[in-house]
Structure formats: structure tokens, C-alpha cells
Amino acid sequence: MSDPVREVLVDCPAWVGEVVDWGRDYSRDEDRMALAIRLAGHNVDRGTGGPFGAAIFERSGRLVSVGVNSVVRLANCTLHAEMVAFMLAQRRVGSFTLAAPGFDEHELFTSCEPCAMCLGATLWSGVVRVVYAAGGADARELGFDEGPVFAESHAYLRERGIALEGGLLREEARKVLARYRDLAGPVYNRRPEV
Ligand SMILES: [Zn+2]
């Protein structure tokens, strides 16, 4: 085993700089989701991680951060696309919450329904809306484990004022999942057979 460490790197692959247009307007939900799915697709095609992408926007349409699944690339089980997007957004705005006074409202768009960990982080992230494309069942079909996500989990977030909406551009996101399966990409933290 190597020496103890006291820091850890969280970043996006360098190609993100080539495929993300930071300056454009993302007022439309479809454009926001298309970006999250495009990130997922590039992550598969470029071999940098699992088939998941996410992005955080201000309600006004400004892109704040993006994330791609980086679990295997950075040897870190917490680096789901949504977690990377949360970390980079909060670093950018300089706050542990995206709901700090004076901020525009923030929304998370993700290519697949958030797992248990990402739902937990969503609660504390400060976003007020989550939109996902593929469903948890689509990810489980591939063998990925979504963890303890229940109807009550979504209800809990809704009671805290966070809107959750699924199915936007689902078929596009499912195509990326299928491509990953066809390439036989690694399924980390695989769902136990039940
Ligand atoms: Zn997750």
C-alpha cells in the first residue's frame, strides 16, 4: 500500500473542454438534457468512464458545471456524474450550497435517474429541480446498482421543495447505455444477483 494521503483530485477528462459550449444559452430543457446525454456518450466513446453525464444550470439558462462518471478513471466510488457536477458547481460559485442568498436557482440535469448517494447529495446541494432521462430500471438492466432508492426517497425530496422529473429524452440516454453494454464496459459496484 502507498503512503497515507490528505488530498484527492476530482476533475473532468480534458475532452470536456472540446465538447461543451459554455457560452451558449440553455433555456430549453431539451438542450440541457441533450448536453448531459452527449457527455455520457463521449465518456463511453472515449473510454473515460461509465455511461452517465450530468450538468447544472441556473434557471436563467446559464451552464454552471458538467460532470461525467469518473469512478474507474479516478478510482473513487463516489464520482458519479452528478457528484462531479455538484462538486465543480460548488467550487465555481464558492459555496457549499447552490441555494445561497443572491444566487439564481439551480437545476440538475442527468442522463440517468440518480442513485441513492446522488439523491442524498441532491438534498444538500441546493438544487431545486432534478430532471433525468433514463430511469433507474434502465441502469439496473445493465447491472448497475442504484442502491436504496424508494418512492419515499423522491417524496422526501419533493417535500423539501425539490422537483423531480424523469423520462426527458429517455430513448437517447438508453442508446448510450446500450452502447456501453455492447462495448462491454466495466460495471463497477455491480448490483448483487437477487
Ligand atoms: Zn449516483
Q: How many CA atoms lie within 13 A of 3 on its CB side?
A: 3
Cell readout for 39 is 457527455
What is the 188 CA–ligand 1 centroid distance (Å)?
A: 12
- pTM for this predicted structure: 0.95
159 is catalytic: no
Q: What ranges do the domains of the chain cover? A: 22-181
Q: What is the pLDDT of residues 107-132, one digit of tens each?
A: 999 999 999 999 999 999 999 999 99
What is the 114 CA–ligand 1 centroid distance (Å)?
A: 5
Q: What is the per-residue pLDDT for 169?
A: 98
- CA–CA distance, 34 with 172 (Å, rounded to integer): 8
CB crowding 32-48: b at 16 or more within 10 Å, else e:
bbbbbbbbbbbbbeeeb
pLDDT surpassing 60 at residue 28: yes
Q: Which of 7, 18, 82, 165 is catalytic?
A: 82
DSSP 8-class letter at 4? -
Residues 40, 67: contact at Cβ < 8 Å? no
What is the 47 CA–ligand 1 centroid distance (Å)?
A: 19
Cell readout for 190 is 455491480
What is the 145 CA–ligand 1 centroid distance (Å)?
A: 9
- Per CATH, the number for 22-181 is 3.40.140.10
